[in-house]
Amino acid sequence: MTTWTDLQDHAAKVKSRRISELFEKDNRAAEFTAESGQFLFDYSKTNIDETARDLLIGLAEGAGVAAKREAMFSGAKINETEGRAVLHTALRNLNGSVIVDGEDVMPEVRATHARMAEFAQAVRAGRYTGQGGRITDVVNIGIGGSDLGPAMATLALAPYHDGPRCHFVSNVDGAHVHDVLKGLDPATTLVIVASKTFTTIETMTNAATAKAWMAAEVADPGAQFAALSTAADLTAAFGIDASRVFGFADWVGGRYSMWGPIGLSLMLAVGPEDFDAMLAGAAAMDAHFREAPFAENLPVLLALVGIWHNQGCGRATRAVLPYDQRLARLPAYLQQLEMESNGKRVSMDGADLVVDSGPVVWGEPGTNGQHAFYQLIHQGTRIVPCEFLVAAEGHEPDLAHQHLLLIANCLAQSEALMRGRSLEEATAIMAKKGLTGAELERQARHRVFPGSRPSTTLLYPKLTPEVFGGIVALYEHRVFVEGVILGINSFDQWGVELGKELALALAPVLDGRSEGAGKDGSTRALAARIRALRGM
């Protein structure tokens, strides 16, 4: 069985080897590429060789990835710290049955999906209206997974929008809700409040603001609200009729929830048919994940590449670089998905981890990033593994020439990261410009690219609903596999709780009801200055 020491020893052994050397074998690209459906995953531009891949697969096998995978899909309570199943996959596979605590959960999943579709069709067809007539705008109020998922998806599937305009409010900063609402007509706006417990402080604060905004012009504001929640008593007290309340079970985590009721805003925008196509794409990736051997399994391979770079090579960050403008929010979505899931310090049994946990995830769409942080990833002192995503075609046939330029930039960046530019090459370039002596050497050194910087590329035909669903499911399962190998629980998030608790305790300090006994000197001083600035 592979150990962390085995992996790290091999990584140290090949550290000085240039990635380009691996391409001396003509079949390198074919042997380090995998396909599934519409996806091709190329990880050949990494320093992973046959030995490294075998070690990584051994690590996955030794961690019991296959057994844990089946436990997840079958409804076992793999979220052990909360005693819950993990079944977001059930939301996108509407056939068959899944048993949790002796009960088949799929009839309720299908019934809720059907209610969502019926409501979405009523809104889109004008059968459900606001006080001012047909709904023109939808405002989704949520935070975390109740915001990032649908916001990302709505942007990603913009070519398929033929329903009301969708807007998203998440930050408790009043500027966010103010700026979203100020351009809308309350009489033709539907507000969706996304909070499982209907108590999330940021969401409910913004919901109250939106309700007051609507009440100024609408006689019955509650009639233009829907809720994505299981708290039927609280949604009723808010004035939302039960027919517009869509609940989901506690085995659906927030950051994995856009496949069900949390995706209602997306369904309103693109319609139930394209929403279901997204579910089908994700379900296809689920099936591939369950059935493909590890050496051909895209989520497993993506996870193993991540493990190699982070825990094997000590690369603490990972850049996600979609060369697809409509995936602009994907890096932010993956920040939550990966860093909230795998940003842990103890294993499932509570023991300290023996290796670092998940990496820092960040990124921007290409080609914008090229004019921002690519300087660092090409010539900086730290190596940042990069993950490129690109479609062979765009949705704008009259702009096909621009899409080819986009693809050229994507492929050029991964090639440049791997190849680099030597001092000799840089010197020759500057010599042709007439430089000589010390100035030639100085200028040439500024133009050296170290190269041998790793990247992967995920290629797909076009960003359709099916492809988009597959991309998100791919990354979900990647996070799961990495978590299993690390031995952690990827499905709780206790790290978000302490700050929430302290924020509630600070409210009376900030408004002067409490002097802040027990608070540290810095916090008390800052609170006092804030009260003074606010004239309190």
The catalytic site residues sit at: 340, 371, 500
Residue 421 is given by DSSP the state: B
Structure tokens that stand for 311 in this block: 């825990």
Q: Are strands 386-391 and 455-460 parallel, antiparallel or unpaired?
A: parallel
Which of 159, 156, 161 has the alpha carbon at shortest distance from 138?
161
Other Cβ atoms closer than 10 A to 434:
8
Mapping DSSP onto H, E and C, the string for 431-469 reads: HCCCCCHHHHHHHHHHCCECCCCCEEEEEECCCCHHHHH
Structure tokens that stand for 69 in this block: 């995978």
CA angle 4, 6, 11 (to 5 degrees): 95
| Cα four-point dihedral sign 287, 92, 247, 215 | positive
3-class secondary-structure state, position 275: helix
Structure tokens that stand for 30 in this block: 């074919």
Whose tokens are 């996959």? That residue is: 89
CA 522, CA 438: separation in Å to the nearest integer? 53
Structure tokens that stand for 222 in this block: 């509650």
Q: How many helices (H) and strands (E) does the chain have?
A: 20, 14
